[in-house]
Structure 1
Amino acid sequence: MARDWDKFLMPYEQAVAELKIKLRGMRKQFQQSNAHTPIEFVTARVKTVDSIVEKQARRHIKDDVLETDMQDIAGFRIMCQFVEDIYTVVDLLHKRTDMTIVEERDYVTNVKPSGYRSYHIIIEYPVQMVDGEKKILAEVQIRTMSMNFWATIEHSLNYKYGGEFPDDIKERLKRAAEASFLLDKEMSEIREEIQEAQQLFSYGKGQELPSARNDNLTNNSPHEGE
């Protein structure tokens, strides 16, 4: 019996729409409190039918377990500036009550042999449908922009070589991954200076930082007895 793909994908599409707003809302809350935001930006997608069918055949996933065995039908990527931000985001997701974390894979600390780095979280998210609640699984990938650049290139090359990279390409990718992570480490070393510069830049030339405004208010406030 043919699957009704529109009906099947509807809760995933709703979950992506809802969670994009929620995750981007987290970033906005940090910005409004004039704090460093660990979230640089968020992207999301629902797998296409062709992609689902191809992966189902490649992984030998049966129809009756598709919803549980294919955990990335709904997928999110959270980009961070610094490696430390990745773990801040992980902690934030753990504290949320609107989703349940069911699996975690830390490829930042436990880097893959290919050089791939990212933090993967599988969440269970309840979607409110007209006929009741539907819990779906979704994958959240959290990585720095440097890690994402490498992963995007590696993913593109996969299509060309079908996952079987020539040895020289494989070695070049590994060296590139190490260089990418070295960049992340260097940026972490000067993280405080970068964040201070970004805060100054965000307020624009001629505008005072909140701390400066508070100092002025304190200095200009009437003294007792005046």
Structure 2
Amino acid sequence: MANENLPAQFPNDPTSLKAIDQFRALMLNYRSAVQVVETKIHYLDQEYQIQNGHTLVDSLQSRIKSPESIIEKVQRKHLALNLQTLPDQMHDIAGIRVIVRFEDDILSMERRLEKQPDIKILKRKDYVSKPKPNGYRSLHLILAVPVFLAAGVQEVTVEVQIRTIAMNFWASLEHELSYKKNVHHQDELRRELIAKAELVHQLDQDMNGIKNQIRAEENI
């Protein structure tokens, strides 16, 4: 993370070395958890490629929320601003985005993750079959990941989003529209994006069907 100084809005004294050390330790736990999940996904992708002759993962992105983003969400969600209770209230401080090529690959990746004995799926939100009203599609999983510390093992939550290239292409533009200020005709552009979300979904389904036909004929 670029800036691990404790935000001034935390109730702890921002100049306190103890408070800063607590925040750094918390962020270290999240970075370690992300590394664990990334390693597993890379391995599962390589295993899938050996078994099937093609990759499952197109690309992988990860991030740890900045202190400013944590503060913004705490205030927006009216959460308690406390370093000890924050991990139980906010499950998306650490995030991984898995970009796959086809809709079938979303469930393939999920099934492989849920078979990992040291990972628990705490929560599942299926925005693929039930998209958000704005057209957003993706599968969201909240994972409990073991992090090995000097004092013992601690479970850390990581949010994993699994989506196709087309879903990610659409979502990146929708995100830009949502967070850009002073965009003219924003409502009109938002309606257009909702309409394009249906086209993106249809394209995903068509490409998935073509892929299945190609691979079925390969096995004849």
Residue identity matched to 1:117: R
Q: 2:61–2:98: 8 Å Cα contact kept in structure 1?
A: yes
Query: How far off is 1:34 after superposition?
Result: 4.5
User: What is the Cα deviation at residue 37 of structure 1?
Assistant: 3.1
Alpha-carbon separation, structure 1, partners of 2:37 and 2:114: 15
Partner residue, 2:131: 111
Determine the C-alpha separation between the residues in 2 that align with 1:177 and 1:62: 36
| Other-structure match for 1:13 | 31
Residues 124/47 of structure 1: CA separation in 2 closer, same or farther (3 Å cut): same
Paired with 1:73 and 1:134, the residues of 2 have a C-alpha distance of 16
Matched, 1:33 2:33: no
Report 1:70-89 matches (<5 A): 70-89=90-109
Q: Which residue of 1 aligns with 2:140?
A: 120
* 1:53-72 alignment runs, 5 A limit: 53-64=71-82, 65-72=85-92
Instruction: Indicate if the aligned counterparts of 1:27 and 1:40 stay in contact, CA closer than 8 A.
Output: no
User: Which string of whole-angstrom CA distances, capped at 9 and with x for unpartnered residues, describes residues 40-69 of structure 1?
Assistant: 222111111121112111211113431112
Match of 1:48 in 2: 66
Q: Percent identity?
A: 35
Q: Tell me the secondary structure at the aligned position of residue 98 of structure 1.
A: coil
2:179 paired residue number: 159
Aligned equivalents of 1:179 and 1:53: distance in 2? 36
Report the RMSD for the aligned CA atoms in angstroms. Answer: 2.3
- Larger gyration radius, structure 1 or structure 2: 1
Per mean C-alpha deviation after superposition, the further-off stretch among 42-51 and 27-36 is 27-36
TM-score by length of 1: 0.80
TM-score of the pair, normalised by structure 2: 0.82
CA distance in 1, matches of 2:51, 2:70: 41
Give unmatched runs, 5+ long, in structure 1.
200-210, 212-226
Verify the 8 A CA contact 2:91 2:159 in the aligned structure 1. Answer: yes
Are 1:149 and 2:169 matched, yes or no? yes
> 2: distance between equivalents of 1:62 and 1:38?
39
Please give the per-residue CA displacement for 1:98-145, whole angstroms capped at 9, x wherever unaligned.
210110000000011000000000011110011211211110000001
**How many positions carry a matched residue from both structures?**
198
What does residue range 167-178 of structure 1 map to in structure 2 within 5 Å? 167-178=187-198
Task: Output the CA distance in 2 between the equivalents of 1:157 and 1:71.
Answer: 25
